[in-house]
């Protein structure tokens, strides 16, 4: 299993890749951050990660899609941009020396 900072790094790499922001956001979160436990994160960012998780789990899926894809599908591009910015911000927090974790 990748270290926490590596998972945020990989999510960030996905966010800056090609394609529509909604697709990049859903792929970044599902592939790298979906199964993170709060215990793997520095305590100062628990609430921010919980808010992001709640936002990306806010819509019930239909037709076999995941909850993340359903939630992202219902977002505006602006909301998806904001969630992507949160992931980048969380990556910065995870890699800061005073909050960094393995």
Tens digits of residue pLDDT in 2-51: 699 999 999 999 999 999 999 999 999 999 999 999 888 989 999 999 99
Q: Domains in the chain: how many in total?
A: 1
Whole-Å CA distances, 3 to 24, 36, 57, 95, 97: 21, 10, 23, 11, 15
Q: Does 83 map to a domain?
A: yes
pTM, entire model: 0.90
Alpha-carbon gap, residue 100 to 58, rounded angstroms: 28
Q: Does 102 map to a domain?
A: no
12: containing domain: 4-95
Tokens of 92: 């910065």
Contact (CB, 8 A) for 9 and 100 = no
H or E stretch covering 15? helix 4-15
Tens digits of residue pLDDT in 72-98: 999 999 999 999 999 999 999 998 876
């Amino acid at each position: 299993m990748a270290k926490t900072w590596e998972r945020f790094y990989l999510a960030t790499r996905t966010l800056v890749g090609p394609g529509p922001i909604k697709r990049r956001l859903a792929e970044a979160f599902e592939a790298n951050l979906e199964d993170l436990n709060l215990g793997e994160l520095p305590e100062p960012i628990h609430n921010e990660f919980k808010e992001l998780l709640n936002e990306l789990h806010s819509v019930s899926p239909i037709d076999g899609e995941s909850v993340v894809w359903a939630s992202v599908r219902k977002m505006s591009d602006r909301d998806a941009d904001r969630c992507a910015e949160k992931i980048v911000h969380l990556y910065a927090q995870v890699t800061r020396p005073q909050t960094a974790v393995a």
